[in-house]
């Protein structure tokens, strides 16, 4: 080894030792200021609902406020890039759904790598979806919806929260099952999309039960079916799309929590512990149950549980998306 290489090696060892020691010191005092939880969609939508539900109990366990911040646009990828570039100190956290797994195939120039740029905290919740229409839409049930679409395809609009949002994926599956092609209208989240559905500006929307159950119960929207193979306890009278003829139509939206790559493991452990406490909080559990949403088994609410699931989901979705030929630049 040349003297130059030897110096470089020593320097690297010193830096590594320092990084470990500094991480340990940081972790001891963590958190000593408020934490930001980035939501990749607009306020009031389903992802935002989940984030705000867990932010309070997480903050209580961590002894600091967890502030929810909405960084919207491009199906959640703008927020993911922001978090990937944030300081790896545990003060910027990220909650995202399965869009994290579909983005690599959907976006040609993705400015982050879901498998390289993050630390994994754990899976969060699993949420079914519902197919809805504005209240005064002419079709009263799924059979009528199919006939209406056949006769009026060019007049029907379908809202979504941008390329890679689950409302987009559900809409694609729906159009492919019905062998139709509707006019799609992208929003910065299904919060604002729902406002337009309620206001009658857009016709159809597939969205998570974390936003839709109360609106369905209050009959403020029309519902054609749920996207699970079994009916939901929160909506026992709403048939599944599967039982109405769309065999195998199933979308259940999983969510995960992330931090920037190289956040010290001791800090990730503290955040994970707070997430686990929040998900077992009786009030959170009750609210989720009322929305027919499930807390995953606790072995999935772990860094390894999320990482393994994300890898499997990227493998599952990438060929499907490539085959469908849908891309963003
Ligand atoms: N439901 C949205 C989606 O389609 C996200 C949201 O607004 O929370 O991905």
Domains of the chain, residue spans: 32-126+253-324, 128-226
pLDDT at 242 over 70: yes
pLDDT at 134 over 90: yes
What is the average pLDDT across 266-278? 97
User: Is 167 close to ligand 1, i.e. is its CB under 6 Å away?
Assistant: yes
% residues pLDDT > 90 (the chain)? 81
**Two domains, one topology: 32-126+253-324 and 128-226:** yes
CATH number of 128-226: 3.40.190.10
Looking at residue 10, its pLDDT comes to 67
Q: Long-range contacts for 135-140 (Cβ within 8 Å, ≥24 apart)?
A: 135/198, 135/200, 135/219, 135/220, 135/221, 135/222, 136/200, 137/203, 137/204, 137/222, 139/222, 139/224, 140/222
pLDDT tens, position by position, 97-132: 999 999 998 888 899 999 999 999 999 999 999 999
Q: How confident is residue 210, by pLDDT bands cut at 50, 70 and 90?
A: very high
Q: How confident is residue 22, by pLDDT bands cut at 50, 70 and 90?
A: low
pTM, entire model:
0.88
pLDDT at 325 over 90: no
Q: How confident is residue 23, by pLDDT bands cut at 50, 70 and 90?
A: low
% residues pLDDT > 70 (the chain)? 91
Looking at residue 36, its pLDDT comes to 98
Looking at residue 159, its pLDDT comes to 97
Looking at residue 164, its pLDDT comes to 83
Q: How confident is residue 324, by pLDDT bands cut at 50, 70 and 90?
A: confident
Kindly give the number of the ligand 1 atom that is closest to the alpha carbon of 75. 9
- CA dihedral over 307, 164, 139, 192, signed as positive or negative: positive
CATH number of 32-126+253-324: 3.40.190.150
Looking at residue 321, its pLDDT comes to 81
Ligand 1 centroid distance, CA of 76 (Å): 9
Of residues 319 and 66, more confidently modeled: 66
Kindly give the number of the ligand 1 atom that is closest to the alpha carbon of 168. 4
Ligand 1 centroid distance, CA of 19 (Å): 37
Q: How confident is residue 268, by pLDDT bands cut at 50, 70 and 90?
A: very high
User: Is 207 close to ligand 1, i.e. is its CB under 6 Å away?
Assistant: yes
Q: Alpha-carbon distance 52 to 215, whole Å?
A: 19
pLDDT at 41 over 60: yes
Looking at residue 163, its pLDDT comes to 85
Residue of 43, 46, 186, 209 to mutate, ligand 1, most atoms within 8 A of C-beta:
46
Q: Alpha-carbon distance 109 to 101, whole Å?
A: 15
Ligand 1 centroid distance, CA of 168 (Å): 9
Q: How confident is residue 319, by pLDDT bands cut at 50, 70 and 90?
A: confident
Kindly give the number of the ligand 1 atom that is closest to the alpha carbon of 164. 9
Q: How confident is residue 241, by pLDDT bands cut at 50, 70 and 90?
A: very high
User: Is 189 close to ligand 1, i.e. is its CB under 6 Å away?
Assistant: yes
Q: Assess whether the previous peptide bond of 31 is cis (omega < 30° from 0).
A: yes
Are the beta carbons of 252 and 228 closer than 8 angstroms? yes
Q: How confident is residue 14, by pLDDT bands cut at 50, 70 and 90?
A: low
The DSSP letter of residue 96 is E
pLDDT at 193 over 80: yes
């Amino acid at each position: 080894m040349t003297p130059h290489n030897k110096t470089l090696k020593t320097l690297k060892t010193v830096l590594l030792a320092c990084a470990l020691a500094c991480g340990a010191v940081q972790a001891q005092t963590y958190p000593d200021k408020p934490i930001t939880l980035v939501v990749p969609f607009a306020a009031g939508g389903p992802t935002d609902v989940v984030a705000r539900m867990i932010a309070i109990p997480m903050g209580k366990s961590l002894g600091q406020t967890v502030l929810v911040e909405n960084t919207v646009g491009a199906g959640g990828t703008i927020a993911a890039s922001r978090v990937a570039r944030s300081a790896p100190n545990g003060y910027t956290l990220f909650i995202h759904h399965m869009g994290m797994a579909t983005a690599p195939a959907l976006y040609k120039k993705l400015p982050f790598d879901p498998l390289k740029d993050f630390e994994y905290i754990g899976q969060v919740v699993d949420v079914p979806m519902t197919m809805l229409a504005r209240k005064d839409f002419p079709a009263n049930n799924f059979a009528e919806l199919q006939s209406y679409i056949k006769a009026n395809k060019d007049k029907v609009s379908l809202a979504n929260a941008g390329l890679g949002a689950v409302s987009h994926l559900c809409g694609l599956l729906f159009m492919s099952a019905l062998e139709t092609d509707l006019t799609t209208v992208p929003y910065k989240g299904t919060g604002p999309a729902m406002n337009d559905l309620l206001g009658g500006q857009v016709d159809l929307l597939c969205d998570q039960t974390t936003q839709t159950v109360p609106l369905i119960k209050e009959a403020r929207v029309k519902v054609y079916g749920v996207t699970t193979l079994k009916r939901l306890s929160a909506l026992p009278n709403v048939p599944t799309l599967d039982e109405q003829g769309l065999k195998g139509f199933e979308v259940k939206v999983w969510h995960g929590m992330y931090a920037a790559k190289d956040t010290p493991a001791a800090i990730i452990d503290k955040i994970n512990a707070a997430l686990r406490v929040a998900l077992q909080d009786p009030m959170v559990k009750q609210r989720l149950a009322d929305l027919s949403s499930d807390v995953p088994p606790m072995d999935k609410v772990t860094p390894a549980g999320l990482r393994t699931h994300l890898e499997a989901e990227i493998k599952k979705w990438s060929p499907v998306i490539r085959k469908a030929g849908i891309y963003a630049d």
